[in-house]
Structure 1
Amino acid sequence: MSLDKKTEEFYNKLRSQLYETASWPSEYLYKFIVPTDQKKISQIEDLFNNLGAVITTKESGKGTYTSVSVNVDMKDPDAVIAKYKKVAEEVEGVISL
């Protein structure tokens, strides 16, 4: 999957901020929003399987969307960004926060 220039700039800025604000390895909190669909939620959970992640979900008031929070130890900012890219590539309709 080819990323556009704006997306690449976003990830480069995120990488710099992560290096400046934390010592690595470090605990990182991912937040995603997906249309409420157990398949999509399971896809996210599967991508963090075997990493010792603590995953919580919460449905929106109308039940249209579900937020998925993933708290996990990551080795460095590049690993954090790689996981964001993997989720975006594999889970249709996901919004990363």
Structure 2
Amino acid sequence: MDTEKSEEFYKKLIEQLYDTSKWPSTYLYKFIVLSEKEKIEAINTIFDNTGAVIESKKSKNGKYTSLSITVTLKNPEAVVAKYKEVTQIEGVISL
């Protein structure tokens, strides 16, 4: 995703989150990643010490792992900050 498009996407997301939720609020992230221990651990590390509940499920053939992460954050900017951290990990798909 090019930077200009992603910044516009994040700006729109922040506006929508302010319109639809009271903050602080619980947010659900969903990611799909290759079932590589290092990548899954990297995502887990991003959410360490946040009180996040992380559920993982491998795909039928085990090649991919989906991660559902529920965490309470103080504002939409914090939501976007976590997305930006996770997108630094190669091959992660955000849903």
Tell me, yes or no, whether TM beats 0.5.
Answer: yes
**Structure 2, gaps ≥5 residues long:** none
2:41 paired residue number: 42
**Structure 1, gaps ≥5 residues long:** none
Q: Does 1:61 align with 2:79?
A: no
Deviation at residue 4 of structure 1 after TM alignment: 1.7
1:77 paired residue number: 76
What is the alpha-carbon distance in structure 2 between the residues aligned to residue 81 and residue 4 of structure 1?
A: 14
> Structure 1 length normalisation: TM-score?
0.93
Deviation at residue 64 of structure 1 after TM alignment: 1.1
What is the alpha-carbon distance in structure 2 between the residues aligned to residue 64 and residue 16 of structure 1?
A: 35
Q: Does 1:4 align with 2:3?
A: yes
Q: 1:34 corresponds to which letter in structure 2?
A: V
Q: 2:72 corresponds to which letter in structure 1?
A: D
CA-to-partner distance for each residue in 1:65-95, whole Å, 9 max, x for gaps? 1001110000000000001001111x11101
Q: 1:92 corresponds to which letter in structure 2?
A: E
Q: Does 1:94 align with 2:92?
A: yes
Q: 1:70 corresponds to which letter in structure 2?
A: I
What is the alpha-carbon distance in structure 2 between the residues aligned to residue 5 and residue 43 of structure 1?
A: 26
What is the alpha-carbon distance in structure 2 between the residues aligned to residue 86 and residue 79 of structure 1?
A: 11
What is the alpha-carbon distance in structure 2 between the residues aligned to residue 4 and residue 66 of structure 1?
A: 26
What is the alpha-carbon distance in structure 2 between the residues aligned to residue 69 and residue 41 of structure 1?
A: 12
Percent of aligned positions that are identical = 56
> Structure 2 length normalisation: TM-score?
0.95
Deviation at residue 63 of structure 1 after TM alignment: 1.0
Deviation at residue 62 of structure 1 after TM alignment: 1.3
